[in-house]
Chain A
Amino acid sequence: MRTLTKLPGSPNAEADVASESAHARKAQVGRNKGDGPLARDVTHDQGQGNASHSRQHESAIKHVTGRAAYIDDMPAPADALHVALGWSPVAHGRLTRLELERVKASPGVVDVITFVDIPGHTDVGPIFPGDPLFVDDAISYLGQCLFAVAADSHKAARFAVTQAGIEIDERPASLDPVAAAEREEFVRPTHVQESGDWQQVLEGAPHVLAGEQFVGGQEHFYLEGQACLVAPTEDEGVIVYTSNQHPSETQKLVAEVLDIPFHAVTVETRRMGGGFGGKETQASPWACIAAIIARRTGRTTRIRLPRAEDMRATGKRHPFHNRYRLGFDDQGVLLGGDITVIGDCGYSPDLSEAIVDRAMFHADNAYSLGQVRVTGQRARTHTASNTAFRGFGGPQGMMVIEAAMDDIARQVGEDPLTVRKRNLYRAGRDITHYGQRVEQLTLLHDIVSQLEESSDYWARRQAIRQYNAKSPIIKKGLALTPVKFGISFTAKHLNQAGALLHVYTDGSVMINHGGTEMGQGLHTKVCQVVARELGLDMDQVRISATRTDKVPNTSPTAASSGADLNGMAAKDAASQLRERLLDFAATHFNAEQGGLDREGLRLENGTLIAGDGPDAKRIPWGELVQAAYLGRISLSAKGFYSTPLIHYDRETAKGRPFYYYAHGASVSEVSVDTLSGEYQVTRVDILHDVGDSLNPAIDIGQVEGGFIQGMGWLTTEELKWNEAGRLVSDGPATYKIPAFGDLPEVFNVALMQGHPNSQASIYRSKAVGEPPFMLAISVWSALRDALSSLTDYHKSPALDTPATPERVLLAAESLRQAAVHGTDADDSE
Chain B
Amino acid sequence: MSVASSNNNVADPAMIDFYLNGKRRQCADIPPDCSMLELLRGPLGHTGTKEGCASGDCGACTVAIGEPTADGSLNYHTVNACITPAHQAQGAHLVTVEGLSRGDALHPAQAAMVECHASQCGFCTPGIVMSLFVLHETQRTRPAPFTQQRLESALGGNLCRCTGYRPIRDAALQMADQPDTHPTWADDPSLPGAVASLCRDVMGRTEGASPGHYTIPRSLEALRELKRERPEARLVAGATDLWLETTQQLKPLDDLIDVSRVEELNRVEAHPEGWWVGAAVTYSRLAPLLDAEFPAFGRLLHRFASMQIRNRGTLGGNVANASPIGDCPPVLLALDARLLLDGPDGERDMPIDAFFLDYKQTALKANEFIRGIFLPRSEARQLKVWKLSKRREDDISAVLAAFAWRLEDGVMRDVRLAFGGMAAIPLRVPAAEAALEGQKPDEAAFAEAKRALRRELSPMSDVRGSAEYRLVAASNLLERLRLSLDMIPTDNGMEVMLDAYAH
Chain A residues closer than 8 Å to B6, beta-carbon distance: none
Q: What is the CA–CA distance of A283 and B257 in the complex, to the nearest angstrom?
A: 41
Chain B residues closer than 8 Å to A273, beta-carbon distance: 50, 121-124
Q: Is the CB of B492 within 8 A of A470?
A: yes
Chain A residues closer than 8 Å to B234, beta-carbon distance: none
Chain B residues closer than 8 Å to A73, beta-carbon distance: 41, 47-48
Q: Is the CB of B391 within 8 A of A222?
A: no
Closest B residue to A745 by beta carbon equals: B148
The segment from B369-377, B393-401, B432-440, B448-456 that touches chain A is: B393-401
Given contacts A38-B170, A60-B117, A274-B162, contact A804 B472 (CB under 8 A): no
Closest A residue to B478 by beta carbon equals: A675
Which of A25, A30, A64, A158 contacts B119 (CB under 8 A)? A64
Q: Is the CB of A740 within 8 A of B97?
A: no
Q: What is the CA–CA distance of A25 and B392 in the complex, to the nearest angstrom?
A: 37
B23 part of interface (Cβ distance < 8 Å): no
Shortest Cβ distance from B346 into chain A, in angstroms?
38
B253 part of interface (Cβ distance < 8 Å): no
Given contacts A704-B164, A732-B58, A740-B155, contact A805 B50 (CB under 8 A): no
1/0 contact trace for A56-95 toward B, CB 8 Å? 1101111111111110110000000000000000000000
Closest B residue to A698 by beta carbon equals: B117
Q: Is the CB of A742 within 8 A of B473?
A: no
The segment from A471-479, A553-561, A601-609, A759-767 that touches chain B is: A471-479
Chain A residues closer than 8 Å to B168, beta-carbon distance: 740
Q: Is the CB of B55 within 8 A of A673?
A: no
The segment from A96-104, A514-522, A612-620 that touches chain B is: A514-522
B116 part of interface (Cβ distance < 8 Å): yes
Shortest Cβ distance from B386 into chain A, in angstroms?
8
The CB with the most chain A CB atoms within 10 A, among B54, B164, B483, is that of: B164
Q: What is the CA–CA distance of A737 and B162 in the complex, to the nearest angstrom?
A: 11
A46 part of interface (Cβ distance < 8 Å): no
The CB with the most chain B CB atoms within 10 A, among A65, A704, A810, is that of: A65
Chain B residues closer than 8 Å to A63, beta-carbon distance: 113, 119, 122, 125-126
Shortest Cβ distance from A430 into chain B, in angstroms?
33
The segment from B136-144, B262-270, B355-363, B494-502 that touches chain A is: B494-502
The segment from A288-296, A677-685, A791-799 that touches chain B is: A677-685
1/0 contact trace for B138-173 toward A, CB 8 Å? 000000000010011001101111111111111001
Shortest Cβ distance from B433 into chain A, in angstroms?
21
Which of A30, A470, A738 contacts B115 (CB under 8 A)? A30
The CB with the most chain B CB atoms within 10 A, among A63, A709, A733, is that of: A63
B182 part of interface (Cβ distance < 8 Å): no
Count of A interface residues, CB-CB < 8 Å:
98
Given contacts A308-B248, A676-B477, contact A705 B498 (CB under 8 A): no
Q: Is the CB of A56 within 8 A of B165?
A: no
Chain A residues closer than 8 Å to B160, beta-carbon distance: 223
Which of B123, B391, B393 contacts A224 (CB under 8 A)? B123
Q: Is the CB of B166 within 8 A of A704?
A: yes
Q: What is the CA–CA distance of A275 and B41 in the complex, to the nearest angstrom?
A: 23
Closest A residue to B117 by beta carbon equals: A697
Q: Is the CB of A224 within 8 A of B55?
A: no
A197 part of interface (Cβ distance < 8 Å): no
Q: What is the CA–CA distance of A708 and B389 in the complex, to the nearest angstrom?
A: 19
The segment from B85-93, B278-286, B403-411, B459-467 that touches chain A is: B459-467
Given contacts A701-B120, A740-B169, contact A64 B394 (CB under 8 A): no
A276 part of interface (Cβ distance < 8 Å): yes
Q: Is the CB of B121 within 8 A of A272?
A: yes
Chain B residues closer than 8 Å to A706, beta-carbon distance: 164
Q: Is the CB of A29 within 8 A of B115?
A: yes
Q: What is the CA–CA distance of A813 and B403 in the complex, to the nearest angstrom?
A: 23
Residues 758-805 of A at the B interface (beta carbon under 8 Å): 804-805
Given contacts A704-B163, A720-B463, contact A68 B122 (CB under 8 A): yes
Q: Is the CB of A741 within 8 A of B152?
A: yes
Q: Is the CB of B126 within 8 A of A66?
A: yes
Shortest Cβ distance from A301 into chain B, in angstroms?
18
Shortest Cβ distance from A14 into chain B, in angstroms?
20
A736 part of interface (Cβ distance < 8 Å): yes
Residues 667-707 of A at the B interface (beta carbon under 8 Å): 671, 673, 675-680, 697-698, 700-701, 704-707
Count of B interface residues, CB-CB < 8 Å:
95
Q: Is the CB of A30 within 8 A of B116?
A: yes
Shortest Cβ distance from A464 into chain B, in angstroms?
14
B427 part of interface (Cβ distance < 8 Å): no
Q: Is the CB of A474 within 8 A of B498?
A: yes
A271 part of interface (Cβ distance < 8 Å): yes
B301 part of interface (Cβ distance < 8 Å): no
A630 part of interface (Cβ distance < 8 Å): no
A306 part of interface (Cβ distance < 8 Å): yes
Chain A residues closer than 8 Å to B299, beta-carbon distance: none
The CB with the most chain A CB atoms within 10 A, among B57, B117, B119, B496, is that of: B117
Which of A61, A220, A223, A729 contacts B159 (CB under 8 A)? A223
Q: Is the CB of B122 within 8 A of A809?
A: no
Chain B residues closer than 8 Å to A745, beta-carbon distance: 148
Q: Is the CB of A473 within 8 A of B129?
A: no
Chain B residues closer than 8 Å to A813, beta-carbon distance: 472
A221 part of interface (Cβ distance < 8 Å): yes
Q: Is the CB of A56 within 8 A of B114?
A: yes
Chain A residues closer than 8 Å to B169, beta-carbon distance: 38-39, 740, 743
Q: Is the CB of B391 within 8 A of A736?
A: yes
Closest A residue to B127 by beta carbon equals: A223
The segment from B8-16, B98-106, B330-338, B413-421 that touches chain A is: B98-106
Which of B109, B125, B495 contacts A473 (CB under 8 A)? B495
Chain A residues closer than 8 Å to B483, beta-carbon distance: 472-473, 675
Chain B residues closer than 8 Å to A629, beta-carbon distance: none
Q: What is the CA–CA distance of A63 and B123 in the complex, to the nearest angstrom?
A: 7
Given contacts A65-B100, A472-B496, A678-B501, contact A741 B156 (CB under 8 A): yes
26 contacts between A and B (CB under 8 A): A39-B170, A56-B115, A60-B114, A63-B125, A64-B109, A64-B113, A65-B97, A65-B98, A66-B49, A70-B50, A224-B123, A273-B50, A273-B121, A474-B496, A519-B120, A675-B480, A676-B388, A676-B497, A704-B163, A709-B161, A731-B248, A732-B55, A734-B463, A741-B500, A805-B388, A806-B469
Q: Which 9 A-B pairs have the closest CB atoms?
A: A66-B48, A519-B121, A273-B123, A708-B164, A63-B122, A519-B120, A732-B57, A66-B97, A73-B47
Given contacts A63-B125, A745-B148, 12 further A-B contacts (CB under 8 A): A64-B125, A155-B250, A162-B250, A221-B159, A223-B58, A307-B53, A472-B494, A678-B388, A697-B117, A728-B463, A734-B464, A743-B164
